[in-house]
Structure 1
Amino acid sequence: MSFHSFYNIWMEQLRQLQLQLRQAEEDQQQQRHLVQKSLSHYDEYYRIKSSSAMNDVLSFFPAPWASSLERSLHWIGGWRPTTAFHLIYTESSILFQSHVVDILRGRSTGDLGDLSPGQLRRVSELQCETVQQENDITDELSEWQDGANYLAGMYDELDQKIERLAGILIRADALRLKTIKNLVELLTPKQAAEFFVAAADLQFGIRAWGSAKDRRSCVRQ
């Protein structure tokens, strides 16, 4: 199976998982089960992607399975890890505002709008750590690009350069997966379920918007 085909199947499975997470509502045991299932789903994605990248890493930068909009937002073949923290802060703010009266009265809602001071501190610490790791990988890619330009006519060394590029992509994907796992670890099952639903909403929303824009561009041409 090509990665393109795998990606389409994976996205459809993600949609089904999102629906199940929405339906779990206040069933904490079901939420915990679905959160673990979601983690496994992302883990499978990056496992298959790493294997495919070792065979054809260059296809992951033009990413023909993604829309033009999605590709414009990519950082080294995928979403920027720190996006997860912006998503947490955004969802937390929206839910806090919707439950502000209850929270001010001391009623715990238990959702992302009710993150504890300890959770917020840990999210901030993880964000700082992730930014540093993002910068390190970005620097590594810049060094790779400088070297690739220098070796443009030296075909005997290109295989090694491409292999190193695959390593950079795999490292970026490892950080993406690590970020998800670190965040889920500090959230309650309900909060983690909300995080996965919001992440899928963002992914599907950008994909739909980008695909519609691509279709309009094709019609104009």
Structure 2
Amino acid sequence: MIARTGSNGYKFKKYMLDQCTDNDIDPINNNIFKHYKKLFNLKTHAAKINVMPVVFGSWMSHVEQFLAWVGGFKPSFIVTLISNHVLLSEQQAEKMELLKIDVVKEEMNITSKITNLQDTLSDSF
């Protein structure tokens, strides 16, 4: 039975800490890690197909994604944020720098395509 014990949390938590051993918890942890590994593998695969829903969220429409892009929220921002605020090993930092270069090149390519599209649309009016 779970009973609230005020600021001390739940009796259930104490029961679990007292009764469960590492042998009981390890299979649960392993399943959780397998789940997250599968989730991130799926996200990696999805990003290779189309990175926009991964970066902006699938709930955003194409117009909202476009407006976020034009407004300056680009994937390189996320890479820079991670590089500047997460402690990385030397190898990880090198890989992040290479990733940043690739991301910026791809952003420039997309921005160029958007500019061409805008020019084409403005010429038609």
* TM-score between both structures, scaled by the size of structure 1: 0.31
Instruction: Indicate yes or no: 2:79 matched with 1:85.
Output: yes
Equivalent of residue 98 in structure 2, options 121, 125, 140: 125
C-alpha change, 1:89 and 1:41, in structure 2 (3 Å) is: closer
1:40-189 mapped onto 2 (5 Å cutoff): 40=42, 43=46, 60-61=62-63, 63=64, 74-75=68-69, 79-92=73-86, 113=87, 115-152=88-125
Q: In 2, distance between residues paired with 1:34 and 1:150?
A: 49
Alpha-carbon distance in structure 1 between the residues aligned to 2:77 and 2:110? 16
Equivalent residue number for residue 38 of structure 2? 36
Query: What code does the residue aligned with 1:143 have?
Result: N
Paired with 2:96 and 2:31, the residues of 1 have a C-alpha distance of 24
TM-fit CA distance, 1:137: 0.9
Deviation at 1:32, TM superposition (A): 5.0
Q: CA deviation at 1:126?
A: 1.1
**5+ long unaligned stretches in structure 2:** 1-28, 54-60
Deviation of 1:78 after TM superposition, in Å, equals 9.3
Identity %: 21
Question: How far 1:76 moved relative to its partner?
Answer: 5.2
Change (3 A) 1:123 1:137: same
What is the alpha-carbon distance in structure 2 between the residues aligned to residue 139 and residue 81 of structure 1? 16
- Cα 1:86–1:36 change in 2 (3 A) is farther
Q: Which has the higher contact order (CA 8 A, sep 6+)?
A: 1
Two-structure CA RMSD over aligned residues (Å): 3.5
Residue type of the partner of 2:79?
Answer: F
Does structure 2 conserve the Cα–Cα contact (< 8 Å) formed by 1:82 and 1:127?
Answer: yes
After TM superposition, the score normalised by the length of structure 2 is 0.51
Task: Mark the structure with the bigger radius of gyration.
Answer: 2
Structure 1 residue ranges without an equivalent (≥5): 1-26, 50-58, 93-112, 153-221
CA distance in 2, matches of 1:143, 1:75: 15
Instruction: Assess if the C-alpha contact under 8 Å between 1:85 and 1:127 holds in 2.
Output: yes
Q: Residue 74 of structure 2 aligns to which amino acid in structure 1?
A: R
Q: Is the 8 A contact 2:83 2:96 kept in 1?
A: no
CA distance in 1, matches of 2:74, 2:99: 14
Q: Cα 1:90–1:135, aligned 2, differ >3 Å: closer, same or farther?
A: same
